[in-house]
Homo-oligomer: A and B are copies of this chain.
């Protein structure tokens, strides 16, 4: 990165500095998975936006319009899930190259609407512009009861770090797609499917939020090493992550699970004593597993991961900064 280049996080920091969050209705502005606006004492609204750019987030030779439509909704649903919120309304901004066909649009919308309907989300508006490159940008509105709100902040020293599902499948799936094989093993197909059609943990997020037991939460969109970095930054704490604990599917390397992006699993912190109960209710209500992968430390102890040989290594965000 040279001085003329820009990183997503440095830009976000500069913008935040210009907009002090002074209004008492703004519970959380820039810097979490979604903005949080107070409507009344019983209701907050959540606002988030995220885009899929052709050639950056996906390649049209690997992803069908249907998959792109579903994924575009899913990555935004994941941001609302990360707050513990209920997704409600969606606006879709399309940027279409001149040669875009009606078939492409119909399949894209078929994916988008299918994903929305799963979570009772209604498309209420949008915009269409001409462009060189296909982009779908989504604005998602959710709501939450104030007592359930989970932020990146709130992690306590001594908390365990817990993740839902398995990590690294999406990165593995993309790696497999790049091999352009004619046939994939069934396990490989699952990784590819997770890359194309990540499952936002909306119900899991709501259950965790309602439990009252979770201290902080984020979704793993940029890779665990990056997203845990955000938790550490926000809470001014350190962390130990145990590589061997990372839950992976067969054939997925632990280091990919640590750094690979686009898992759209949830990462949260809680007291160790709560984990058994949370595991039970999540398993029972959603079938989703959770796994302890690390612990929150005082800031001065730093950020580390312990590799499979017990060696302590610096935890550096190696996940996906879209601009690096």
Given contacts A6-B100, A96-B6, contact A135 B131 (CB under 8 A): yes
Q: Is the CB of A37 within 8 A of B96?
A: no
Q: Is the CB of B29 within 8 A of A125?
A: yes
Copies, count = 2
A322: chain B residues at CB < 8 Å are: 128-130
A119 within 8 A of B: no
Complex: chain B residue closest to A98, CB-CB: B5
A199 within 8 A of B: no
A133 within 8 A of B: yes
A105 within 8 A of B: yes
A137 within 8 A of B: yes
Q: Is the CB of A122 within 8 A of B19?
A: yes
Q: Is the CB of B102 within 8 A of A50?
A: no
Name the 7 nearest CB pairs between A and B, nearest first: A35-B124, A35-B125, A139-B139, A29-B124, A8-B128, A132-B133, A53-B129
User: Could you list 23 A-B pairs, sorted by A, with CB under 8 Å?
Assistant: A3-B102, A4-B101, A5-B98, A6-B102, A8-B128, A14-B106, A29-B124, A35-B91, A35-B124, A40-B40, A45-B45, A47-B124, A47-B139, A49-B127, A50-B127, A51-B137, A53-B95, A53-B131, A93-B139, A95-B135, A127-B137, A135-B135, A139-B139
